[in-house]
Amino acid sequence: MKVCVFGASGYVGASVFQLAKEIPEAEVTGTYLEEPALFDDLYKLDVNQPESFSDFYKEVDPDVVIWSVMDGPNEHELTDQGLLHLITHLTPQTKLIYISSDFVFTEGKGPYSEADPMSKLPDDHLFSSYANAKIKAERFITNELSNYVILRAGPIYGENKIGKLDERTDKLSCYLRSGKPVAYRDDLIRTFVHVNDLAKVIQEQIESDVTGIYHTGESESRSFYEFMRMTAEQFGYNKQLVEKGSEREKVDQEVPKDTSLNTEKIRQITKLTFG
Ligand X SMILES: NC(=O)c1ccc[n+]([C@@H]2O[C@H](COP(=O)([O-])OP(=O)(O)OC[C@H]3O[C@@H](n4cnc5c(N)ncnc54)[C@H](OP(=O)(O)O)[C@@H]3O)[C@@H](O)[C@H]2O)c1
**Binding positions for ligand X, rule: CB under 6 A:** 7, 9-13, 31-34, 45-48, 68-71, 99, 101, 153, 155-156
Which amino acid is it at 10? G
Q: Which is nearer to ligand X, 9 or 128 (CB)?
A: 9
Chain position whose Cβ is nearest to ligand X: 10
Q: Which is nearer to ligand X, 94 or 191 (CB)?
A: 191
In whole angstroms, the minimum distance from the beta carbon of 137 to ligand X comes to 9
Beta strand residue intervals within the chain, DSSP E: 2-6, 27-32, 42-44, 64-67, 95-101, 148-153, 156-157, 182-184, 189-190, 193-194, 212-215, 222-223, 242-244
Q: Which is nearer to ligand X, 69 or 240 (CB)?
A: 69
Per the CB < 8 A criterion, the answer to whether 23 and 110 are in contact is no
In whole angstroms, the minimum distance from the beta carbon of 213 to ligand X comes to 14
Q: How far is residue 138's CA from residue 205's CA, in Å, rounded to a whole number? A: 18
Q: Which is nearer to ligand X, 32 or 105 (CB)?
A: 32
In whole angstroms, the minimum distance from the beta carbon of 179 to ligand X comes to 27
Please state at what angle helix 224-234 crosses helix 167-177, rounded to 10 degrees.
Answer: 60
Q: How far is residue 101's CA from residue 274's CA, in Å, rounded to a whole number? A: 17
Q: How far is residue 177's CA from residue 69's CA, in Å, rounded to a whole number? A: 31
In whole angstroms, the minimum distance from the beta carbon of 50 to ligand X comes to 12
In whole angstroms, the minimum distance from the beta carbon of 222 to ligand X comes to 15
Q: How far is residue 170's CA from residue 164's CA, in Å, rounded to a whole number? A: 9
Per the CB < 8 A criterion, the answer to whether 81 and 48 are in contact is yes
Q: Which is nearer to ligand X, 74 or 238 (CB)?
A: 74
In whole angstroms, the minimum distance from the beta carbon of 26 to ligand X comes to 20
Q: Which is nearer to ligand X, 71 or 138 (CB)?
A: 71
